[in-house]
A and B are shown apart, each in its own frame.
Chain A
Amino acid sequence: MHSYDYALLLAFFALVLLPAPWLGRFYYKVMEGQRTWLSPLLGPVERGCYRLAGVDPATEQSWKTYALALLAFNLAGFGLLFAVLLLQGHLPLNPQHLPGQEWSLAFNTAVSFMTNTNWQSYSGEASLSYLSQMLGLTVQNFVSAATGLAVLVALCRGIARRSASTLGNFWVDMTRATLYGLLPLCLLLALLLVWQGVPQTFTDYVHALTLQGADQVIPLGPAASQIAIKQLGTNGGGFFGVNSAHPFENPSAWSNLFEVASIILIPVALVFTFGHYVKDLRQSRAIIACMLALFVIGGATALWSEYQPNPTLNSPLVEQTAPLEGKESRFGTTASVLWSVTTTAASNGSVNNMHDSLNPLSGMVALVNMMVGEVIFGGVGAGLYGMLLNVLIAVFLAGLMIGRTPEYLGKKLQAREVQLLVATLLVMPVGVLVLGALATSLPGPAAAVSNPGPHGFSQLLYAYTSASANNGSAFAGLGANTTFHNLMIGLGMLIGRFGYILPVLALAGSLALKKSAPVGQNSFPTHGPLFVTLLLVTILLIGGLTFLPALALGPVAEYLSLGL
């Protein structure tokens, strides 16, 4: 690694961590309707939205009403997107006259964007009209991220409130999350990207004659605005097929830095938002410490692995640097690995290199990042509520050992809470292992892999992990655009999204109802190095125990057979 590699890492951590406390407080104020510097500008818009929709922002909802509103909103979003994708051939803003998507692909895509997964079994420039990209995908990019944020604040309120029966108003939370939480930052990032050369235009694709005399079609479109939310909203669905490896999505070193930092900018900040909700920033610091530790362990492993020379070329005649297959030479190894680790840690899924070409160990880091449930910063809102589930599990497992009914921040964890926690624990095993087993045992779906042996298994495992974790990145090589995989991966995404959201909201409702015991010397300590270690071990243990056999048959076997 060169000095500029270290500079990149330093700049990345600075960009992500330094604004987090400030941004986290901003999100708290925004979501609780307090006045911020944006209020004079956006306040009238916000109130206008409520008037238009007939929402009374002062009315709060029980967890059930909140969940029903969320489901209805998501269903409507899915329906709209599904229709647009099917019918885009008959809709305006389609300069390339692209036909509608095949139904299973449209289903897969609609589910994918509604669930904040952004798994893409299609290539944007070859199959989507500008209208589909903007009205369909970009809208879902915003509202799926806002949904995650809404669920998170509902959980925060559930933990913070005492003997309360309501969790807030879903419509208000959605409005505030989108209006204050996402739009301003996206505007800023889009402008930065346009400055760096990302197109933002409605004009047709450009036809050019290459030096070889061939006719080249250069795709354009309103890319910058979509890429901004794709990164900030932990969506990850690229405007172009190769995502942020495409020179129009990610033209320069600067755009690469901005984009990779944007992936976890909001998730990191939200950890502080939680601290403001529970009026104890020590909790935030403990959670951040655990996330950072997991991130750094994974990142260091992946970097080390990617800087290893290719053993098959091990000969004094060959001078080797780090292998660059599947990577953009514009970005090099460090920037590629940093992106891979970040995009899988957060449930983003955008890529600037091809994960299929990663060494087995760094591929495994990407897999593990997702398998632990996207809790290492994770998706907007989703990452932290996933992490809080792990916190509750850790507290329940070890909490009894201080001789008290396990309590988190004064809230007792009883049968009802454990029931809901167990429901969320089952999401990843069912989504990844059961659906994966189904895919591997049917001859047709299993043939979609492009490599034999452990690597082929990794491709399948990766696809179902990515779907269930709502990540959306792909281990290229799997021909995923088949009816089976479109439907099953779609199912995986639905399980992975709502298998968490519904129990989390129920949990929030149940916790809100409880009285809160005063936190003191005899409470289970949920800050400090001991708890951080406990949380870390719990996450790795649960993920490890669930997925070790599968990983052994995939990346581990591949790694050991390479003799690296």
Chain B
Amino acid sequence: MKIIVPVKRVIDYNVKPRVKPDGSGVDLANVKMSMNPFDEIAVEEALRLREKGVATEVVAVSVGPDKAQETLRTALAMGADRAILVVAEDVEPLGVAKILAKIMDEEQPGLVILGKQAIDDDSNQTGQMLAALTGRPQGTFASKVEVSGDTVHVTREVDGGLETVSLKTPAIVTTDLRLNEPRYASLPNIMKAKSKPLAQKTPGDYGVDIAPRLKTLKVTEPPVRSAGIKVADVDALVAKLKEIGVAA
């Protein structure tokens, strides 16, 4: 079975985003960029399935700017076999899902594993949309993935706890935080990744219209919450809590 893992280049998890003064967006100039953390988990899960003998090949895909090559090289250094970069800027989840649907057609994977959301636009849509466009089942917010034959059992993190569903492959899985702990790429593997195949494509190659449907009119800072007071001890805290009506 082949597994496709879409990955996105986003602002690093530890960087605090700054809104541009002109309200046109978030300032990404000279900011550290990394692979979306949920996508790292997706790559790791695909690699583990290959190590268990369930998968035979792991293909990393990114729809993004030229520089997303770095993100794909990271996936290759972690252990993916090859990569496809579809060069396009600022593609919305619906457009990404349409491109991925075409890649699924070409590659015929048994599983596509994606992060549940990207930490830049927090949309949480691409996996579900890809499943809809291809008419395949979806196991979103996965904390456990077990493949047996042509079915995959996905345990999902839902509001009240956990839910397990059984899906027929090919299936789409989106990862939650506790699915696994992604490995670090070792130096020899980083060197090796440089010679792994990375194909470059454009949305035109897939005949997909990715014109945006949403227009961002402005981006602003959220309302600021200012620090309040510090109390000296528990007695003062109890008094404050009584003041706001928490305790009788």
Partners in one complex: no
B contact residues vs A (CB 8 Å cutoff): none
